[in-house]
Structure formats: C-alpha cells, structure tokens
Amino acid sequence: MSARTRTREVCAAKAEALVKTDALRARRRRITQTVVPGDHIERASGRDHRVLFVVSEMADYIKAGGLGDVAASLPRALRDRADMRVLIPGYREVLERTGPIRVIGQTPAHAALPACVIAHTVLDDGLPVYVLICPELYEREGSPYVDAAGEPWADNAVRFATLSRAAAVIAAGEAGMDWTPGLLHLNDWPCALAAAYVRWSGSKASCLLTIHNLAYQGLFPAELAADLGIGEAQREALDFHGQLSFLRGGIVHADQVNTVSVSYAAQITAPAEGCGLDRLLSRRAALGHLSGIVNGIDSSWDPRTDHHLPVHFSVQSCEGRDHNARHVRRAFGLPESRGPLFAVVSRLVHQKGLDLTCDVAPQIVAAGGQLVIIGGGEPQIEAQVRELARRYPGSVSAYIGFDETLARRMFAGADFLLMPSRFEPCGLSQMYAQRFGCLPIAHATGGLIDTVDDGVTGFLFNAAEADALRRCVQRAFRTFRQSGLMAAMRRAAMLRPSGWDIAGTHYLDLYQRTTEARA
C-alpha cells in the first residue's frame, strides 16, 4: 500500500468520525466521506501564482466587519490572473450555506490543536473554497470571534491557531491534497500565526500578511504557548508585554506585510497609531517589507442596477436619489424635509467616533438637517445613540442592528455620510457612499485620506474632535445650499475609481515580490 493511499484512508476514517457527530449529522448527505484522488479543480493554465487566501470570515457565508467583504471580493478579482483558493473555518453558517462539499484531506493534531478535516466546495461563480471542519471548535452560535453575549470565545487561541496550523500544513504539502499553494495570503491576527508555523516547519512557502486593523492583535496568555505548539525558543517572536501576540508573530515571520491603505501603512510605523508594534513595523518598512494597498469595492455597488434600491439612478441622472431619500425617511419614521440628510452606517464602537457625532448632532438639527444611524456594537455607545434619537424625535432616528437593504438605501438617499473615525485602516463605507453620490465627511486618517479628496469627493477634517467635525459639517451645509457645487461634487464622487481592478494589479505585484523573497 502506497503512502498516498494510506493517507487517503486515514483522511476518510477521520472524515467519517467527524460526520457522525451530532453537529454534522444533519448535513451528512452533503459531505462526501471518501477522499477522492485529487481535488478535481481545473488547473490554472497560464497563471503563475498558486495562492491560498486564508481568512476567518467571508461575506458569502459569515461577516463581522469589512474583512468579510474583502475576502469575498479580492480572490474573485484576482482569479483570472492567479490560481486563487480560499481557506475558511467550517462555522455552522458555512456548512449551512455552502453547496455540496467533498472531503479531500486532513490536518494532524499538534500539541493541543485537534486534527481537522479539509473539505472542498465551489461557489456559484466557480471560486474554490476549502473548509476546515472541526465541529468542537467552529460549529457554534455567535460570530467568528465572540459568543451570543458579545464575549470572546474562551478558546480563541486554539481555534485560530488551528486555522493557522492548517494553512501551514497545506502549504507544506502534508494535508493529503493534490494542490499545494506557493503563497499563503494571510489576513489579520486569526491566521497570522500561519507565517510562524511555516517558518518553524522549514517549509519553503511564501507568506504575505495583510493587516486590516492593527488594533486587534490576538493577545493570549503566555502559558498557552505549549498548547499551541510554540517552543521556549519561539516565544520571543510573539511576546507582547508578557502575552502572546498572534499578529506580532505574523509580522515577524511573514515575507511581506501590507495594510489596506497607503496612509495607514505609514501611520502604523509611528507610536500614535502603531499600537505598540511601531518599532517592529518601522524596521520592516526600512527593509522594504511593509506596503499599503487601498481596498476596492465590488461591482454590486452600482446605483443603476443595485436590487436593494427602490429607484435606480446614474451619474448622468441623479433624480432617483430623492426617491431613495424618501424611502429612508419613511423607514426611520422621519418627516419629509428640504434640508440635508446625514447618515451613519457603522459599527457603534469608540474607534468610529460616534461620541463626536452625538456631540455635533444638535447643530445638525438646529441648522435644519436630519440624521439617521444604523449599526450595533458597544452597549454604552448604543445607549448614547438611542438617547440622541429620543431627544430629537423627527430629526434623529436610529436602527440598532444591521440590515443590508436599509444600509444601501441610506447610501443612495443621504446627502452626507459622517465618518469621524479616530483611526481607519481603509474604510469601505466612504467608497460605498461615493459610488451612490453621498459625500463623506471624514476625519483625515488612514484610508480616508487616500479615498476622500477634500472639497471634491467629500470633506476632511484634521483632528478627531467635535469642534473640527462641527466646522466640517458647516462646510457641508454651505455646499448643500449651492446646488451647482453640490451636484458637481456628487458627480466627482460617483466617478471616482474604486473597483478592485487597480488594487488587484497592486496585489499581483506584491505576490511577485513575496515569492521572490523565498526564491
């Protein structure tokens, strides 16, 4: 019996054991329990890069933030120019929403990290996805990172070290699969440790780490190191003030590191935005190993065709925006008004500057404007938003939670989008708003600098303070009263290039640099 045959039999046995668990029994018919010879995915003729895009969320299945949107868009934007495949944990939502999946490999146990099954599925448009199946780690109620009460899962270190280790095993060609990537594209702390596992194992795979938000570093107690398969000599690379930092481990061991905007890449090398990692990032930048690529948005953000909108419009004819504004006002219980409509579409967290919005809201109302807010997040900020709406009935209204259709209609009907973020690695909302003719009012930080041209496609203010936001809002009111200027800015915003084509080309160049570093 050959080694490959033995590997397949082991994989099949492991798959059968997992499929018999209560968590997977309901979906048993959808999973092939025999490992077939190869994964039978069409080979990428003429495409130089074999890339495994490793991610903890993907909007096709489950989304907690902008990372989910990027994961759904970037691999698709690149798949005609690279052999792109996605690896994602087998959350309950993934297994429920995917089509038929077939087991094609497995990862062995390592320290306290359990063995997992790797299954393959193909999305409707042909994008290949590998699903890491481990019911005890991933099939739960809640988001990828927190439980239903909003508390981080107690075993997040094991959950995401397992994902990272699986990526490294696949890259080493040791998962029993017929396809091996030449490059791992890792995203944020949940899979950053893969770069360390790759280097520690001696694998020749290249690793690119994209930092979507440096503030989230994946910090865990140092005493978990042995459980994660991290030796005494390896701990130093992950040490962050006595804790293990998954993100730091990725930054140290990845061949290249990038962020999601040019300005943010520069800002995180200084103490103010470096979150304690600025010196390390500065050293990587000095070696040419740190760069920034502004995110794009996908083609569904088109006011001419978006099925979420009650009335379509275009840059040539924006009359439909008034109809969308009426729908938004009705949805939020606000009366018709000739004044401007301001919107907030955001997670309600300290980073996003909602306290600044609440401080400035009285001036918006006094000047004849209305404000609508959608989002959820930190309980104290949610309470502050509710109180604001209670104080100004008929002028301020809020929806605590999220609704995709309502959010898109807000972009299509509001005149201005408030984004007073204290920091913003890239931001997608400002680009969604611009595509729909809604002008962002944003703090000049991170990706907001790179995507908002002050006085042309939106408005910028330089300090994350209520007075600075207030002055910027006054500029917006003056512009609103000048219909010709308002129309010109709206057209400029709608015409601003923001698709994935440009970013995709930059990523291909970065893939080349990353693989050359290992050559």
Q: pLDDT band for position 43 (50/70/90)?
A: very low
Q: Give the pLDDT band of residue 64 (cuts 50, 70, 90).
A: confident
Whole-model pTM?
0.88
What is the pLDDT, as a whole number, of residue 417?
98
Residue spans of alpha helices (H) in 332-465:
354-366, 379-391, 404-413, 429-435, 446-451
For residues 402 and 376, give the distance between their C-alpha atoms in angstroms, rounded to a whole number: 7
Indicate if the alpha-carbon torsion angle 454, 69, 419, 269 is positive or negative.
negative
What does the pLDDT look like over 229-284, one tens digit per residue?
999 999 999 999 999 999 999 999 999 999 999 999 999 999 999 999 999 999 99
- Length in residues, the chain: 519
Q: What is the pLDDT of residues 18-33, one digit of tens each?
A: 433 444 444 433 443 4
From first CA to last CA, the distance across the chain in angstroms is 35
Q: In the predicted model, what is the mean pLDDT of residues 167-180?
A: 97
Which comes out higher in pLDDT, residue 488 or 36?
488
Looking at every residue in the chain, the average pLDDT score rounds to: 91
In this prediction, residue 148 carries a pLDDT of 84
Q: Does residue 44 have a pLDDT over 70?
A: no
* Beta strand extents in 289-415 (DSSP E only): 290-292, 341-345, 370-375, 396-400
Q: Which residue in 231, 174, 202 sits closest to 11, CA to CA? A: 174
pLDDT attached to residue 47: 61
CB 295 within 8 A of CB 428: yes
Helices (H) and strands (E) in the chain, counts: 20, 19
- pLDDT, tens only, 327-370: 999 999 999 999 999 999 999 999 999 999 999 999 999 999 99
Q: What is the pLDDT of residue 65?
A: 83
- DSSP conformational letter for 457: T
Choose among 427, 495, 436, 511: nearest CA to 75.
511
Task: Compute the average pLDDT of residues 302-321.
Answer: 95
* 8 token code pair: 């397949």
